[in-house]
Structure 1
């Protein structure tokens, strides 16, 4: 089976045959051979692509399942630590020592809780790079607005039905 690059070269051969005025029978035979090759190549690619897409979907589903499971486990650990901390504080027992482990309640590092963002001075805000709204820009260009530095392009790709 020939590669797509070879098939493209074959199509260049067809163009040359047309330009050189080759007889109809030679042209038709060459074209038929190329069509059969690219049809077979496209069918083979279709099945390989569908198999790979199926694998990708299975991987995404497994990634999501594992991420959900990890998050649930992390939430359980967090809840258990909070419950134990609360119980130890309520009972006044700030330290538990066993042969296997030692647990003690201690202060966490100081942190900030923002109550009203509008009252925070600008000096505490982090400047960020501007980001282009590509969808908005595309819609503007489609409506006929001329924007220097941008243009609408139309690309092509294979779709299977």
Structure 2
């Protein structure tokens, strides 16, 4: 019998008991149900505690696995950075293997700000509280051969694995 069923029965019996409180048989039955309800409540709390303990164990495992994943990702990045540095030092642009082709690919140009006060105002968006540098316009001007003071356009290479 489920807890809610016992609860319904208990309420019905309480109603009956309030109509005829001197009925001994009814009182004995009520005492028996009371014991069953206490037992059901106790067992329900045991289930709750068990589920809470499982949730805590899973949460601890999540934290452990997150730390392990981060360490593995960091190791992979260090090895990748090392491979990139070796290829740059040895001036290798591309290495073809049986399974992978590793190359140093030229990234799109990017703006490196050297001195913000030397950059002409036309390269800033000004209706904002803090003027924002329009880097795309600077790149376009650089590609057109214009020299813009206060910035340097850099084009780096990065490792690509295919």
Bin for the TM-score computed over the shorter chain: 0.5 to 0.7
**In the alignment, structure 1 residue 119 sits paired with structure 2 residue 157:** no
In structure 2, runs of 5+ residues without a counterpart are: 113-127, 133-162
The residue number in structure 2 matching 1:43 is 42
1:92 aligned counterpart, secondary structure: coil
Measured after TM superposition, the shift of residue 18 of structure 1 is 4.1
Q: 1:80 to 1:111 in 2, by over 3 A?
A: farther
- Larger Rg, first or second structure (1 or 2): 2
Q: How big is the shift at 1:101? A: 2.9
- 2:73 counterpart residue number: 74
Equivalent residue number for residue 150 of structure 1: none
Partners in 2 of 1:119 and 1:50 — Cα distance?
A: 54
Query: 1:92 is matched with which residue?
Result: 91
The question of 1:57 aligning with 2:68 is answered: no
- Quote the Cα distance in structure 1 between the aligned partners of 2:15 and 2:60: 50
Q: How many Å separate the matches in 1 of 2:15 and 2:110?
A: 74
What SS does the aligned partner of 2:102 have? strand
**Alpha-carbon separation, structure 2, partners of 1:111 and 1:32:** 82
Query: TM-score by structure 2 length?
Result: 0.57
Q: CA deviation at 1:82?
A: 1.8
Match of 1:93, SS? Answer: coil
Query: Structure 1 regions of 5+ residues with no counterpart?
Result: 122-161
**How many residues matched?**
117
Distance in structure 1 (CA, Å) of the matches to 2:107 and 2:64? 33
Q: CA 1:38–1:92 in 2, change beyond 3 Å: closer, same or farther?
A: same
Structure 1 range deviating more: 20-29 or 84-93: 20-29
Higher relative contact order (CA 8 A, sep 6+): 2
